[in-house]
């Protein structure tokens, strides 16, 4: 071991290591706008479902598919081009958090949509997906922060 290194310098080196690893994790994290865009696209698709005309479905389905692919491509660009996250940073807790988030959004959207439909309300899927999309926009960044915390906890050099 290097006996000439001052403990303060060792602490500075550890801070540098943490900062650089955070840079990679932050680059790979999807931006907050992504959740709002996906939420809006859900509403677009639901309008097509509620309207039930071939023209509306013909427009909304391609908008949903192309929009989702484009938004996802832009959001994960950092992972595709700059740096791919090391395996093991996102452990089982991260996977559970993502699955729980998806279940929450789908559950809220479907429960509201079927409830409103049973009550005879117009545009039930649109309203259900609107609430689901709003939830996604508001809580997507919360999921991001949770995943970031998990990944930072799994990086090298955590004491």
Partner 1 sequence: MARARFDELIHAPTRLSIVSLLAASQWADFQFIRDSVGLSDSALSKQLATLEQAGYVEIGRGFVGKRPRTSARLTPAGRAAFEQHVAALQEMVVRSGSTILPK
| Pairwise CA distance, residues 120 & 130, whole Å | 18
Exactly one of 17, 69, 70, 103 binds partner 1 (CB under 8 A); that residue is 17
24 sits near partner 1 (criterion: CB under 8 A): yes
Residue 48's nearest CA partner among 118, 126, 155 is 126
| Pairwise CA distance, residues 157 & 21, whole Å | 10
Give the list of residues 6+ apart from residue 153 with CB closer than 8 angstroms, or none. Answer: none
- Diameter over CA atoms, the chain: 78
DSSP character at residue 89: S
53 sits near partner 1 (criterion: CB under 8 A): no
Q: Among residues 63 and 85, whose Cβ is nearest to partner 1?
A: 85
CB of 93 to partner 1, least distance (A): 18
| Pairwise CA distance, residues 109 & 125, whole Å | 8
Residue 125's nearest CA partner among 101, 108, 102 is 108
148 sits near partner 1 (criterion: CB under 8 A): no
CB of 95 to partner 1, least distance (A): 18
14 sits near partner 1 (criterion: CB under 8 A): yes
Q: Among residues 24 and 43, whose Cβ is nearest to partner 1?
A: 24
13 sits near partner 1 (criterion: CB under 8 A): yes
Token readout for 3 is 């006996």
155 sits near partner 1 (criterion: CB under 8 A): yes
84-143 binders of partner 1 (CB under 8 A): 84-87, 89
29 sits near partner 1 (criterion: CB under 8 A): no
Whether 155 contacts 25, CB under 8 Å: yes
CB of 127 to partner 1, least distance (A): 42
List of residues contacting partner 1 (CB under 8 A): 1-2, 5, 7-8, 10-21, 23-25, 27, 81-87, 89, 155-157, 159
């Amino acid at each position: 071991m290097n006996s000439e290194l001052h403990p303060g310098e060792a602490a500075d080196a550890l801070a540098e290591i943490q900062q650089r690893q955070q840079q990679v994790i932050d680059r790979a994290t999807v931006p907050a706008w992504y959740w709002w865009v996906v939420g809006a696209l859900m509403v677009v698709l639901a309008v097509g479902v509620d309207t039930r005309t071939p023209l509306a479905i013909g427009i909304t389905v391609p908008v949903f598919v192309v929009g989702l692919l484009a938004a996802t491509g832009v959001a994960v660009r950092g992972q595709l081009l700059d740096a791919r996250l090391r395996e093991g940073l996102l452990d089982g807790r991260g996977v559970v958090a993502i699955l729980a988030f998806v279940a929450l959004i789908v559950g809220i959207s479907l429960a509201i949509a079927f409830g409103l439909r049973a009550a005879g309300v117009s545009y039930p899927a649109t309203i259900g997906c609107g609430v689901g999309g709003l939830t996604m926009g508001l809580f997507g960044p919360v999921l991001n922060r949770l995943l970031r915390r998990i990944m930072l906890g799994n990086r090298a050099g955590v004491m």
